[in-house]
Amino acid sequence: MTASDWSRINQVQLAYNESIVINKVIGVPSFPASQRIHSTLELIRIPTYLASIRLITFIKKIPEFHLIDLDDRVTLVKYNLLAVVFMHTVLLYDSNHDTYHEPNTDDPIFQGKDWIEILGNEFYRELTNIATTLTKIVQNDRIIIKIFLLLILFSKGFCGYDISHEPSLKNSSIVYKTQNLYLESLYKYCIHNYGLKKTETLFTRYLSHLLSVQCLAVHLKDYVHDHIDASQLSPLMQSVLQFTDSTSPV
């Protein structure tokens, strides 16, 4: 690990923490109270919106993100953010209690079982399985997950909603370079903490589960399109869920 690698790791930690402080929860019960979710609209308006706005803030706090062409930033956020939201659930999920909560915050607790009522048992099982499995693979190392949030965002066409209509990047080389920069730092970090053999196993197992993250994002997008009137959503969530051509605030 070089000084630049450690600086990059620390910047990720700082950016994530600041994204939570800047976007505090208002209008719902504070921890340790639970906020029950009974409809698709509530699911999008409360936990999905909260995660989205925090993740956008997180991304904007990453210096290299601002080196990317503005239109390319919009494309990456608009077309990949929902997948990043699902990867983010790995940081929130407590498998012992089947709940979602950002540690050390006043956020309410969200019940995992609410996903059953809204999206059914199969989706619930897939979501909880991926959250539990990915947490075990990285040995609950939150730094690894946070960097993977960035790696997914910088992967053009990751969700694959509609590749034929998704805009091409104006300067893909900068996006590719930025992704590799964080991938290299993550790889070095894992070797430093876990050794080469465990790192190779970790990367192989983790990457093999990314398809599940893609499927969750696509499933939710399609389900929301069938069950929600777009006018009921904020412009941000309309964009993230591909209802309109509006752009995300990047």
β-pair partners for 100: 93, 110
Does residue 172 form part of some domain?
A: yes
Q: What is the pLDDT of residue 157?
A: 81
Which structural domain range is residue 81 located in? 3-240
pLDDT digits (tens, 9 = 90+) for 35-72: 999 999 999 999 999 999 999 999 999 999 999 999 99
Does residue 171 form part of some domain?
A: yes
d(CA 233, CA 61): 26
> Encoding tokens for residue 18?
């600041």
Label residue 1 by pLDDT band (50, 70, 90): confident
Q: What is the pLDDT of residue 245?
A: 57
Kindly report the CATH number assigned to the domain that includes residue 123. 1.10.565.10
Does residue 247 form part of some domain?
A: no
Label residue 158 by pLDDT band (50, 70, 90): confident
Q: Is the pLDDT of residue 87 over 60?
A: yes
- Count up the domains in the chain and report the number: 1
Average pLDDT score over the chain: 90
Q: Is the pLDDT of residue 227 over 90?
A: no
Question: Residue 140: which region, alpha, beta or left (left: phi > 0; alpha: psi -120 to 50)?
Answer: left
Q: Is the pLDDT of residue 138 over 90?
A: no
Does residue 34 form part of some domain?
A: yes
Q: What is the pLDDT of residue 25?
A: 86
pTM (2 d.p.): 0.92
